[in-house]
Each structure stands twice: as C-alpha cells, then as structure tokens.
Amino acid sequence: MAPGDSGAGDEPPDTERLARAALGGDPARFRELYERIAPALYAWASIRIRPALRGTLDPEDVVQEVWSRAWRAFPSFDPATTSFRAWIFRIGKNVLLEGFRKVQRGARGEAGPTTRAFQLANVADPATAISQRVARDDGIQKLLAWVGELDADERALFVHVGLEGLSYTQAGERMGLAKDTVAKRWQTLRGRLVQFGVPRDFVGY
C-alpha cells in the first residue's frame, strides 16, 4: 500500500500477535482472532444481503461459513503480506458470491431440496456461538440502523474503507472517486463513527 494511501484496515498490534499465535495451530487463539472480526463481517453481510433474501441467505450463516473456510485455509495465511481483515473479507466475498449464485439457481428452480444457501452441517460450535452472539448484539443492530440512514456514497465508504479495510485508492476505484476525496470523506465519516461509539476493532481505525 502506498504511503499516505492507507484506509481503515491497519490492524492493532495485538491482532497481528494473535494471528501469528493462531498460525501455530492453537484453536483458542483463532477463535479469539475471529471474534474480533465477526461483528464487522456480520454487519458487512447484513448490508450486502437484501432483507427479501434472508430466508435463504442469512448474515449469521455467512459468518459461520466464513469461519469454516477460514479455519481450513488458515495455514496459508501470511501476516507478512496481508492483514487478517483483508484476508478474511476475501473469503467472505467468495462466500457471499456463492450464496447469491445459489439463490439465483433456486429462483430458476435449479436448487436442491433445501431452501438455505449453506448447509452448515459441520460448523464448529464456536462459530455458531459467535454468529449467534453478534446477531443478537443490540449495539450492532443500532449501528446497522444508523448506517441505513446514510446516503449511498457514505454507506459505500463505510463498507469499503471501514469494514473491508480497502485503501483510499482501491475504494475510490470502486466508487468512481479520487483518492483524496475518499480520504477526506472517510475522515469525516470516521469522526461520526467515533462519536457514535463504534469500537476500534470494528472498523480498524
């Protein structure tokens, strides 16, 4: 990432420490690490999934499915080349795209016997506990209601820079804005998030 082009994805040292400890194969450290990102991942999925699709594709299911895939793929995670936030959200994007494809196939009558996008038959108990907790967190629900009142550009900024941790340049390319414009708007929105009381780990600011 170029100097002066950082977004919200710079992780605190303790997150990086946990990532390195989890790479040693300690499930407890991975759970602690995932618990840090799960609220942001749940909020991201909630924003991306339209209410009409919740019967087949639920944000809680996405959080659990991402846990399963991340745990299996974790040995390939390299904290020297990418942040845990960026890595986990790449998995999240793949999960969500797969879910949308399954919903589309179901709409065409091509789905299997279940109406759920993900079976989640072998999800670890910690993943279920984490997803249920974040789904029932009043603070997250209040934040989602607040984000729902933002205009389209502010909401996109919250998703791309705040949750996904993209750089200003990357977010600008998605939003059709100059890097400096993204940076200024993010600083303003970040100030409002601080006033709202959003935890640092939630958006990595």
Taking only the tens place, the pLDDT of each residue in 161-177 is 999 989 999 999 999 99
- What structural domains and CATH numbers belong to the chain? 9-136 (no CATH), 138-205 (1.10.10)
Q: Given pLDDT bands bounded at 50, 70 and 90, which one contains residue 205?
A: low
Average pLDDT over residues 47-60: 87
Query: Given a cut of 50, is residue 1 above it in pLDDT?
Result: no
pLDDT tens sequence across 129-146: 888 899 999 999 999 999
Please give the pLDDT value at position 108.
Answer: 63
Contact criterion met (CB below 8 Å) for 99 and 116 = no
Residue whose structure tokens are 């909020």: 43
* Helices 168-175 + 179-196 axis angle, to 10: 100
**Does the reported pTM lie above 0.75?**
yes
